Structure 1
Amino acid sequence: MATQRVLAGGTSGGSTAKPFSADGTAGGTLWESRTPPNNHCGKAPHQPFGVRCGAFLRSGVNAGEAPPVRWLGSGSMNEHVIRPVRADEWEKVKELRIAALKDPAAAVAFLETVEHGESQSDEFWQERTSRGAEGRAVRQFVAEAPDGEWNGSVTVLVEEAGTSDIFEGSIERTQGHLVGVFVRAGQRGTGLTEALFDAALEWAWSLDEPALERVRLFVHEDNARAAAFYRRFGFRASGYVVPMPTDPSAKELEYVFERP
């Protein structure tokens, strides 16, 4: 059962909530509960910042900040902290990315090969991690196990209106773009991917001046498993299609999640 996060001083679903500390929080009190979530992912839109799919709540957090949050899976071994990366964690960012690029589904999941990833310099990974740790343009979230291992990640790119996207298309409205979605095989189906998406969307909706109008992602036409997950979570196919940069004969399908 997934963790619920409830507002400080309260409970959710009749459960008893217990506070816990998390190093490096940007603000707010975090709580845990073993009550199952409301399970409305994919059935109703995410709520505004502070109210999340599955009734995950937190308080005292300023827009654009993303404190770590504890998530419990079906047992204590599945406990993870969902948090943004820190600027000095480039070696772990690199390790997880290389693991993702070695995954059997990497050819239809990523626009990069493992050979390309492994050839990058330490400076590349340091810069990449620093960009994903702070500021408005990029934020990378990871799922960290009690032993410190990272078991999943998702990154939000902010696409500002009037700029170009990674496919060299024109951006007509300010929006988020989810990339680098990966969860290790042993953690798939536990709810960890949903927890990562929850964190990514909440951060996206918290941004303002200007606010993001929607969040989107692209999925390879042959990646049916990923597409099914995105639909269950609440994303919908927009009908916009682009050729895959590494193989123009293949198609990448856009899925969007409109701002609540």
Structure 2
Amino acid sequence: MSYKVRSLRVDEWPRAKALRLEALRDPVAPIAFMETYESAAARPDSFWRERAERSAEGAFGAQQIIAEGPDGEWVGTVTVLMEEAGATDWAGLPVERRQGHLVAVFVRPAYRGIGLTEVLFDAGLEWAWAQGAERVRLLVHEDNGRALRAYRRAGFVETGVTMTLGDSSDGRELELAVERPDEESDR
């Protein structure tokens, strides 16, 4: 089966909203996402339209990438946020160099284990490198073994940075990253 991996288009915000709400119903959602289904479902359509505008094809600060099956069904997604050196990230930590940050990773259960996460990550990394990122990182809860294994298979390695997010004492988030490939070694 072939899948098309591409950037979100602004007018597709209703489908992006539906996929996000599905992701928030996944059994690991409480440790995988920093949002509940109830809070997301209560947001007005204007929120979802604006979110799509900020991360759709042609946007510079973020990019939402989707995997589309042969029948047009959306089967997975990842969003890449760009973080600028010298800034403070959303968790309050200093950003030391220009980097991408993968968030909102989701593949529908029926499509897991066939390599879609790696394909989505490849597209996300390609976009981040084109934006001048020196590295791309992500955070994963220490108890989210399935995601941790998928991220390692995709080439991400633990950096040693850990954190507890929010008021939660439900475990640590581990930072994993991949460095920008040395373009000289590719020649």
Same fold? TM cut 0.5:
yes
Segments of 5+ residues of structure 1 without an aligned counterpart are 1-77
Q: Which runs of 4+ in 1 moved over 4 A?
A: none
Deviation at 1:259, TM superposition (A): 0.8
Q: Distance in 2 between matches of 1:236 and 1:192?
A: 19
Q: Which residue number in structure 1 is paired with residue 150 of structure 2?
A: 229
Residues 117-163 of structure 1, C-alpha deviation per residue, up to 9 Å, x if partnerless?
Answer: 10110000000011111321000000112222111000000000111
Q: Which stretch of the first structure deviates more once superposed, 172-181 or 224-233? A: 224-233
3-state SS of 1:178 partner? strand
Within 5 Å, which residues of 2 pair with 1:102-181?
102-133=25-56, 134-181=58-105
Does residue 1:84 correspond to 2:2, yes or no? no
- Root mean square deviation, CA, Å: 1.1
Q: Which residue number in structure 1 is paired with residue 179 of structure 2?
A: 258
Within 5 Å, which residues of 2 pair with 1:51-62?
none
Greater CA radius of gyration, 1 or 2? 1
3-state SS of 1:152 partner? strand
Task: Give the total of aligned pairs.
Answer: 180
3-state SS of 1:135 partner? coil
3-state SS of 1:250 partner? coil
Does residue 1:94 correspond to 2:12, yes or no? no
Q: Is the 8 Å Cα contact of residues 117 and 150 (structure 2) preserved in structure 1?
A: no
Counterpart code for 1:92: R
Q: Which residue number in structure 2 is paired with residue 218 of structure 1?
A: 139
Normalized per residue, which structure has more helix? 2
Deviation at 1:249, TM superposition (A): 4.6
Aligned-pair identity (%): 52
Q: Distance in 2 between matches of 1:203 and 1:148?
A: 22
Q: Which residue number in structure 1 is paired with residue 184 of structure 2?
A: none
Q: Normalised by the size of structure 1, how large is the TM-score?
A: 0.67
Q: Is the 8 Å Cα contact of residues 111 and 246 (structure 1) preserved in structure 2?
A: no
3-state SS of 2:147 partner? helix
Q: Distance in 2 between matches of 1:135 and 1:97?
A: 19
Residues 168-201 of structure 1, C-alpha deviation per residue, up to 9 Å, x if partnerless?
Answer: 2111111000000000000001111111111111
Counterpart code for 2:33: F
Counterpart code for 1:176: G
3-state SS of 1:241 partner? strand
3-state SS of 1:247 partner? coil
Q: Normalised by the size of structure 2, how large is the TM-score?
A: 0.93
